[in-house]
Amino acid sequence: MRAVIQRVSRASVTIDENVKSFINKGLLVLLGIEGADGQEDIQWLSNKITQLRVFNDDNNVMNRSVKDIDGEILVISQFTLYAKTKKGNRPSYIRAAKPEISVPRYKAFVEQLSKDLGKEVQTGEFGAHMDVELVNDGPVTILIDTKNKE
């Protein structure tokens, strides 16, 4: 699994001109899933995201997690995180999991993240064309790949 995690003041996802989800202070997570991803990846990434200390403490040091600040999380599926761009100018998405694999894993990830956060996580709609808006706070943007845990 690959995730682009952005600390946000607010973020939303709109589908067909209707706001599906909105969060205030918290994390926007763009999530890519490949065929080899399993339950271990889901649990590891969820724990990493909820414990990631990217919010400022009283000394203005990034020392608090999204849980510590009672923040919110918005997860958007993003198969393009597995774009292969080595050859030519048209990206290949062959490493991204097919919907029959990625949809259940995406749902399992959202469930695990909600459990680890202690409250409901907001989402986009898998496979839909979405307009994602955010105010990146900092900016703070972190890339995590479960295949590079070390």
Query: Which residues are catalytic, by number?
Result: 80
Between the alpha carbon of residue 91 and those of residues 44, 101, 127, the distances in Å are 28, 21, 18
- Between CA 64 and CA 149, with CA 117 as vertex, the angle to 5 degrees is 70
Is residue 126 within 8 Å of residue 78, measured between CB atoms? Answer: no
- Give the pairing type, strands 2-15 and 72-77: unpaired
